[in-house]
Amino acid sequence: MQELEKFKVIGTDNYNRESVPDIILLDSGTMEECLKFEEDYIKQHTRGEHYFSAYYPFVVPLDEKLWRGMEEFL
């Protein structure tokens, strides 16, 4: 039986500030699970046409390196 490729959902700064590190929103899942999580996260943080979270979710490969914010510069 072939193992499904795993992904994770990360949150990146919604204001694109380099000083803010990425966070993990969902540690591990299939592409389908991650896309569902991403969709639900966006719905939970949207009122009308306005998105109001400091982080925006992205589905990335499990081995993707997260941005560490200011730590990247030190």
User: Could you read off the pLDDT of 6-17 as tens digits, one per residue?
Assistant: 999 999 999 999
What's the chain's Rg over C-alpha atoms? 14
Amino acid sitting at position 64: E
Nearest to 57 by CA among 31, 37, 71: 37
Summarised one tens digit per residue, pLDDT across range 32-60 is: 999 999 999 999 999 888 888 899 999 99
Q: DSSP label at 73?
A: T
Domain residue extents for the chain: 7-64
